[in-house]
Structure 1
Amino acid sequence: MADEDRVARWVERVATFCVDEWGLPPITGRILGWLMISDPPEQSAGEIADVISASRASLTSNMRFLTVIGLVRRTRRPGDRTAYYRIEDDAWQKVVQRKLDSLGAFGEIADEGLAIAGADESRTERIRAAQESLTWLRDIAARNPPKP
């Protein structure tokens, strides 16, 4: 199997993961996959579109999304009018941190739900089960932070 084919299959695996696990559009996952493995790491929108077989319009909106959430950085080279994109070095740490932050946010939502449910154990039991599971996961992550 040619190296190009292996890379294309790997990029597609990244895209599938992003779709299945995070609900992202396939093109977003393909962009992330390509930017992780591309050489050089900085790629123009045209280069990315060609490699992942995407329309420029679709690519542009997805690049804007990835840039706004901080996973991809837009750069320019001196004397070159073309914009280049690269995955941020801490992109995956940002993804994980957002997930951990959402666990903390759910704790506040659960507290409010418990206050609303009051003494009705059938309702508080379901809320507490969710709260305990998410708190457990958050605490594990806090004890084992990613290495920089």
Structure 2
Amino acid sequence: MDALDKEFVDRMGLALERLGGTRTMGRLWAWLMVCDPPHQSLTDLAAALGVSKTAVSTVARYLEAGAILERVPVAGRQHHYRVAAGGWEQLLADRTARMQPLIEALETGLSVVGADRPEQRALLEETRDFYAFTARDGANVVERWKQYRYEQAQHMESREHHQPSKD
């Protein structure tokens, strides 16, 4: 890993840590975005990141379950990973769907907190409404993202067809 790659990898580690992940999670994801080849074995990842193979394996499995990484089929017993295309889209859709049990739990809270506790009811209602809004809007964000990516691809394709030849 050269110095510029290391700076990027370390910055991503700190950024993901600030978002509630782990530093190793951010560093692993970042390295897999810039490494060559774009898939690496757990042994190679551990060596590049300077962490234990166990730590890399744990984080890789977590990111794989979240659709951020995917395992690459290779000969031999080593597991290889790469960044999954569309992973963030899948992650947002999954996280949005997981909000429903929380919304239902807040509804239960509202059913047991009577009008005699207006401050608590207001807090429960606001929290429920926030998560209901976020769940609904999260699904809209995924659809808007897909549309945006489609439009970008159409725009690029159109530009490629309209460029003059270099003959």
| Structure-1-length-normalised TM-score | 0.82
Question: How far, CA to CA, are the matches of 1:99 and 1:55 in structure 2?
Answer: 29
Question: How far, CA to CA, are the matches of 2:29 and 2:6 in structure 1?
Answer: 12
Question: How far, CA to CA, are the matches of 1:28 and 1:143 in structure 2?
Answer: 27
- SS of match in other structure, 1:135: helix
Q: What is the CA distance between 1:127 and its match in structure 2?
A: 0.6
Q: What is the CA distance between 1:109 and its match in structure 2?
A: 1.4
Question: How far, CA to CA, are the matches of 2:67 and 2:119 in structure 1?
Answer: 41
Equivalent in the alignment of 1:12:
10
Is 1:123 matched with 2:120? Answer: yes
Is 1:49 matched with 2:40? Answer: no
Question: How far, CA to CA, are the matches of 2:112 and 2:122 in structure 1?
Answer: 13
Equivalent in the alignment of 2:87:
91
Question: How far, CA to CA, are the matches of 1:98 and 1:13 in structure 2?
Answer: 26
Q: What is the CA distance between 1:81 and its match in structure 2?
A: 4.3
Question: How far, CA to CA, are the matches of 2:37 and 2:111 in structure 1?
Answer: 54
| Matched residues, number | 144
Unpaired runs of at least 5, structure 2: 150-167
Structure-2 change in CA distance of 1:67 and 1:140 (3 Å):
closer
- SS of match in other structure, 2:85: coil
Aligned partner of 1:86: which letter? R
Q: For the aligned residues, what is the CA RMSD?
A: 2.2
Aligned partner of 1:61: which letter? T
Aligned partner of 1:143: which letter? N
CA contact (8 A) 1:72 1:86 kept: yes
- Identity across aligned pairs (percent)? 20
